[in-house]
Chains A and B, each alone.
Chain A
Amino acid sequence: MSEDLQHGQRKELSAGLIQYSVESAMPFGPIHPSLKEPEYFKLILEGERIVQVIPRIGYVHRGIERAAQERTWVKNIYLFERICGICSFAHSLGYTHAVEALTPFEVPKRAKYIRVIVAELERIHSHLLWLGLLGHWAGFDTLFMWIWKDREHILDLEEAITGNRVHKSYSTFGGVRMDLPDGIAAKLKTEMKYIEKRVDYYENLVGAEETLTVRTKGVGRISQETARRLSPVGPLLRCTGIARDVRVEDPYAAYDEIAPRVQTSNDGDIASLLTLRLNEIRESCWMVSEAAERLPTGPYKVSIPRAVPRGESMFHVEAPRGELFYFVKSGGGSAPERVKIRTSTMANLLTATEMLKGCTLADVPVVLTGMDPCFGCMDRISVLDVGQSKEWSVRGEELRTYGIEYYRKRLS
Chain B
Amino acid sequence: MNPLQVVQLLLFPGLTFFVWLAFVFEWLERKTSARMQGRLGPVVTGPFGILQPVADFFKLASKEEIIPAQSDKFVLRWGPALYFAAPAIGIAFLPILGFQSILFDPLDLLFMLFILAFSTLMAAMLGYASAGRYSTIAVGRLVVQYTSYEVPLILSMVTPAVLARSLSIQGIAAAQGSMWYIVIVPVAFAVFIIASLAELEKPPFDIPSAKTEIVGGWMTEFSGNTLAYVKLTKSLSYVFLSALAVSLFLGGPGGPVISADQNLQALFYTVYFMVKLFAVGFLIFVIRTALARVRIDQATRLFWTFITPLSLAQLAVAIFVGFR
Contacts and interface: CB of A to CB of B under 8 A. Distances in A.
Is chain B found bound to chain A in the same assembly? yes
A209 B292 contact: yes
Given A142-B37, A211-B204, A361-B137, A136 B212 contact: yes
Contacts of B262: none
Contacts of B210: 139, 362
Contacts of B206: 139
Contact of B293 (A32, A138, A146, A360): A138
Nearest to B296: A362
A374 B38 CA distance: 28
B246 to A, nearest CB: 26
A139 B203 contact: yes
Contacts of A142: 33, 36-37, 289-290
Contacts of B297: 360
Interface string A168-212: 000000000000000000000000000000000000000001011
A145 B212 contact: no
B210 to A, nearest CB: 7
B59 interface: no
Interface in A138-152: 138-143, 145-146, 149
Contacts of A364: 213
A33 B215 contact: yes
A209 B204 CA distance: 12
Interface in A339-376: 360-365
Interface string B186-218: 000000000000000001101100111111000
Nearest to B38: A149
Contacts of A224: none
Given A26-B133, A145-B38, A362-B207, A211 B291 contact: yes
B85 to A, nearest CB: 30
A45 to B, nearest CB: 10
A215 B290 contact: no
Interface residues of B, number: 27
Contacts of B37: 141-142, 145-146, 149
B295 interface: yes
Contacts of A360: 295, 297
B267 interface: no
A211 B299 CA distance: 10
A214 interface: yes
A34 interface: yes
B294 interface: yes
B292 A211 contact: yes
A140 B203 CA distance: 8
A35 to B, nearest CB: 10
A273 to B, nearest CB: 16
A33 B211 contact: yes
Given A33-B215, A136-B212, A137-B212, A215 B295 contact: yes
B38 A140 contact: no
A364 B210 CA distance: 12
Given A146-B37, A362-B210, A139 B137 contact: no
A215 B38 CA distance: 25
B324 interface: no
Given A142-B289, A211-B291, A211-B293, A365 B38 contact: no
Interface in B280-324: 289-298
Interface string A215-231: 10000000000000000
Contacts of A268: none
A139 B215 contact: no
Point out which of A48, A139, A146, A211 has the most chain B C-beta atoms below 10 A from its C-beta. Answer: A139
A232 interface: no
A135 interface: yes
A146 B289 CA distance: 12
Which among B204, B211, B295 has the greatest number of chain A C-beta atoms within 10 A?
B295
> Which of A48, A211, A215, A363 has most B Cβ within 10 Å?
A211
Nearest to A361: B213
A34 B204 CA distance: 18
Given A32-B215, A142-B289, A146-B38, 12 more contacts: A33-B215, A34-B212, A135-B292, A137-B212, A139-B292, A140-B293, A142-B36, A142-B290, A209-B291, A211-B294, A360-B295, A361-B214
- The 5 residue pairs across chains A and B that have the minimum distance between CB atoms: A139-B293, A140-B292, A145-B37, A211-B292, A34-B212
30 contacts: A33-B215, A34-B213, A48-B137, A135-B292, A139-B210, A139-B212, A139-B293, A140-B203, A140-B292, A142-B33, A142-B37, A142-B290, A145-B37, A146-B38, A149-B37, A209-B291, A209-B292, A211-B204, A211-B291, A211-B293, A211-B294, A214-B294, A215-B293, A215-B295, A360-B295, A361-B137, A362-B210, A364-B213, A365-B212, A365-B213
Interface of B: 33, 36-39, 133, 137, 203-204, 206-207, 210-215, 289-298
Interface of A: 26, 32-34, 48, 135-143, 145-146, 149, 209, 211-212, 214-215, 360-365
